[in-house]
Amino acid sequence: MNGRAGTAAGPQALRSPGLIVTADDFGLHPSVNAAVERAHRDGILTAASLMVGASAAADAIARAHALPGLRVGLHLVLADGPAVLPPRAIPDLVDGSGRFGTRMASAGMRFFCLPRVRRQLAREIRAQFDAFAASGLALDHVNAHKHFHLHPTILSLVIRIGREFGLRAVRLPRETGPPWQSGAWLRPWLALLEARLDAARIAHNDYVIGIRQSGRFDEPALLAALRGLPASGIGELYLHPALDSGAAIAPSMRGYRHAAEFAALVAPRVRATCDALRARGWRMGGFADLVPATGGTDAAPRAARATGPPAGTVGAHADGQDRGTP
């Protein structure tokens, strides 16, 4: 194992080692859902992030209820995917078919600058939290498709709205490794995300593995990642498993080797490597198992919440609009 957590820093990097193994895009396609179920039953998968507006979400939810050990979180879709609300409710966010676009930079500018667009964004984020709550699954964590929760405006809304639904943990997409391999331009945004989560007393992992390997996390890559884990801290290793691959799953994922990622999760050598980690004292599970919130949040889950936003909401302004001010 490496002696330090790459770019991970601060007191949390001193935590005893733990690993969350997550499948993103749960609900995107029946092939993804089948792979998630098998990778949890027969492999090392401990968690999944659910796309509540995707076409196979109902199937994913049914499978998750039959897998009580699988920790399930909300995979917010605000780019390159379907919205939950109809186009007429969020016309500035989606096209006529109800899909978000792929131009995240321009969308991010509009989120920050235009109050009308922010109001629609807040409605859609709330609708996705509502849909997850309606699933009856416990909310293990929240992250966003393509890590869009790095955007300060989106983060403000996730924190404010998520508190009402029992939000306790959010993914910190800080890759391990030297800075020149880890997206140096992202470091200010990652620092802001971490600081705001800590200020809001929302738990997070210390590092992730999977950004550089996205779509090609096969068995050799997964074994290398497991054998090179930092010696301390809570890591999240995330993949995109499915029984089929590429465009069969989604047009924008033509180059993805989903089936190879599924095969890696159930490979005997990978399972044996994780068994060896456990024997050395590593803990494995979901966010709820490994990164309990540092003091909790002030708001109860939605079913028991009082009317109105909780006190001390991060990023809230007097006019009720979230601009994502640092």
The CATH number of the domain covering residues in 11-294: 3.20.20.370
Domain extents in the chain:
11-294
Full pLDDT tens readout for the chain, 326 residues: 333 333 344 444 457 899 999 999 999 999 999 999 999 999 999 999 999 999 999 999 999 999 999 999 999 999 889 999 999 999 999 999 989 888 878 877 888 888 999 999 999 999 999 999 999 999 999 999 888 788 888 899 999 999 999 999 999 999 876 554 556 667 888 888 899 999 999 999 999 998 888 888 999 999 999 999 999 999 999 999 999 988 889 888 888 899 999 999 999 999 999 999 999 999 999 999 998 754 333 334 443 333 333 322 223 332 334 444 32
Q: What are 256-311's pLDDT values in tens digits?
A: 899 999 999 999 999 999 999 999 999 999 999 998 754 333 334 443 333 333 32
Q: Global pTM?
A: 0.83
Q: Are 30 and 54 in contact (CB under 8 A)?
A: no
